[in-house]
Amino acid sequence: MHLLTFRTHDAGHADGTGHAGTPRLGARLDGDRVADLTALATAAGAQLPPDLLGLIRAGEPALATARELLAGDPPTRPLTEVALCAPLRPGKIVGVGLNYVEHVAESHRTLDTDRELPDRPVLFDKPSTAVTGPGGPILHNADLTKQLDWECELAVVIGAPAFRVAEADALRYVFGYSIVNDISARDQRRSGQWFFSKGQDSYAPFGPVVVTADEIPDPQRLDLSLKVNGELRQDSNTRHMLFGVARLIADISSGVTLEPGDVIATGSPSGVGAGMVPPQFLQPGDVVEATVERIGTLANPVIDAR
């Protein structure tokens, strides 16, 4: 299933957003149609959590109910008639740095990171307040950064509590996969600490959907790419990760409990703005599109936030 969170369009809505009501749980069908799982559950008298985080926490019985509701030919509406939100608000976003060989090389050349490949995953955190959804603005505050950069990453959504998980068992703890654009203010690294560089509001575009793990049995065989204003900047495959998804879950859970709805942003391939000659960074008016095979495209505009 391709699960999502959406609002309906309503130009006359009182809050002035053009989007009506509270976010609703839905599913993407046939690429460009949306089924309202909340409405389907109500009509069928079925018990279903009202949001994606609740669905994840409810486990396999809730997933089975969702599958039953989507079986056959449920009513849908065009994707163009709804506004997608971030699929959920994660409890934790665990970022992974320097997880592709070529990105390690370009980071050493342009960002003064170590030349050697890391022997363990390089981890950092992004707060949940950094999350923005599909179409949500990436905030460019020139008073804080002149080097706003992009990073297309496969996102892993955790489905069950994971602590001291063996690598061989790790994928059993995955609910599904999505996309995170790990926005980074390169000039806000502070004595090697990345929190402010990576964690400002809007620095974690997330979505457009969460694809359940049964539809992506091997997360290490996915093409991923990124465009800025239609120009290709990143183009790689998750098979080039230094540490695959299972290894990341095992490493993180060796000391930190991963909970349902937590997200791991698995690292960026090469092709970031800091690595270009000369370096190129995001500016207000740009549009960034991050794409991962079998998941979709996450598009966000950059706006002036001063």
Neighbour-count burial of 116, counting CB atoms closer than 10 A to its CB (0-12 exposed, 13-18 middle, 19+ buried)? exposed
* 237-253 core/surface letters (b: 16 or more CB in 10 A; e: else): ebebbbbbbbbbbbbbb
In tens digits, what is the pLDDT along the chain, a chain of 306 residues? 999 999 987 543 333 334 457 899 999 999 899 999 999 999 999 999 999 999 999 999 999 999 999 998 999 999 999 999 999 999 999 999 989 987 666 665 666 666 677 899 999 999 999 999 999 999 999 999 999 999 999 999 999 999 999 999 999 999 999 999 999 999 998 877 889 999 999 999 999 999 999 999 999 999 999 999 999 999 999 999 999 999 999 999 999 999 999 999 999 999 999 999 999 999 999 999 999 999 999 999 999 999
